[in-house]
Chains A and B, each alone.
Chain A
Amino acid sequence: MSSALHMRTVRPRRGRFSLFLTFGWLAWCMGSSDQAWAHPVVFSQGTALMGHHQGDMAGLEVIHSPLWWLGLGFAAERTPSSTVLTAETNVLAWRGNFPDLQSNFYLGVAGGNVWGLTHQDMIDSAAPPRTKSPRGLLQWKAEWDAEDRQFYARTRYQQEFQEDEVRRDQTLLRVGLAPYKAAADELTWWGMLEWTTDRAQGDHGPKHEVTPLVRLFYKNALVEFGMSVSGRTTFNYMFHYF
């Protein structure tokens, strides 16, 4: 009797863990992190698995929140020319809970290594690659979002420093609109518009990208996909586990 009960309680956990590993493996195979593309802090004792794919860049990220205002995690990002692995700490520095609106301000830092071509290698492709050994990397970001059940806005500024390399920064702005107010257990979909600008030392100017996206949201799962005006595809997903 006790073993039967034991099996009942253990099997779903193994199933969930297997699912978690499977999604992680699939995401890595699809490409392989830009810091959290959404929700860098989960709920207390919650874990989020997030993936993002933009053109030939793919990233995977796992964040666990031991406290409701703290998110600790790992991220991996792969492009054809480099691989980045980072450990990150995110803090929900402020949250505004209003009757029909939630707003958050996050701060985050991440540190790790990058393997592959340097930014200079990419600019000067005729020259032999300077290094392929791992280089240290440090990122920080500040992020604000606000959403009710029909409107969404998010902005983020992120800076990245690589050892013996250039400084890069990215500014992101995203707005969204849902056609209806969904109940907690209903499928929600959103239309979103994202604008990013990337700058790196040595570049002639910032690179702008505008991407319309569709977001589908059901219970603890969220997926979104879109294509930028320059033709870059985007596919993001996020699962929350508790």
Chain B
Amino acid sequence: MNFVKKLAITLIAFSGGWIVNNTAFADTVKVSVNGMVCGFCAQGITKKLNSTQAVENVKVDLENKLVTFNTLPGKTFDDAALSKLITDSGYTIVKIERNKK
């Protein structure tokens, strides 16, 4: 019986650690972008980001020139890839901020 309890506790501990480890990769990313002035700009950037299948909750704030999104757990989307995507969309990155969840 003790063995079963220990096994259960070990499994829960490991699975909990696995979940924590995976969500640890989910970042909230704020990107300052120059050149966004209209709905077409917002649509273009949103579609390009969503096409990576590595992000969710993409929001474009034209007033503050900010693009914010969350990276999906277990997916990596580093600054180099992000810079290339925004540049390939025709815009200029000013700053990237990442906050771990």
Residue ranges of A at the interface with B (Cβ–Cβ < 8 Å): 39, 42-46, 67-69, 92, 95-102, 147-149, 181-185, 188, 217-220, 222, 240, 242
Give B42's nearest chain A residue, CB to CB: A184
- Residues of B within 8 Å of A183, CB to CB, are 61-63
| Known contacts A181-B62, A219-B43, A147 near B38 by CB under 8 Å | yes
- Residues of A within 8 Å of B63, CB to CB, are 181, 183
A8–B87 Cα distance when bound, in Å, is 32
- Residues of A within 8 Å of B90, CB to CB, are 43-44, 68-69, 92, 95, 97
- Residues of B within 8 Å of A100, CB to CB, are 37, 65
In contact, B89 and A68 (Cβ under 8 angstroms): yes
- Residues of A within 8 Å of B42, CB to CB, are 184-185
A97–B44 Cα distance when bound, in Å, is 15
Residue ranges of B at the interface with A (Cβ–Cβ < 8 Å): 33-44, 47-48, 51, 60-63, 65, 88-92, 94
Chain A interface, >50% SS class: loop
- Residues of A within 8 Å of B40, CB to CB, are 39, 43, 220, 222, 240
**Further 12 A-B residue pairs, CB within 8 A, beyond A43-B40, A68-B89:** A39-B40, A43-B89, A44-B48, A92-B90, A95-B35, A102-B36, A148-B37, A184-B60, A184-B62, A240-B44, A242-B43, A242-B51
A182–B47 Cα distance when bound, in Å, is 20
In contact, A242 and B35 (Cβ under 8 angstroms): no
A188–B41 Cα distance when bound, in Å, is 14
| Known contacts A220-B43, A242-B43, A98 near B34 by CB under 8 Å | yes
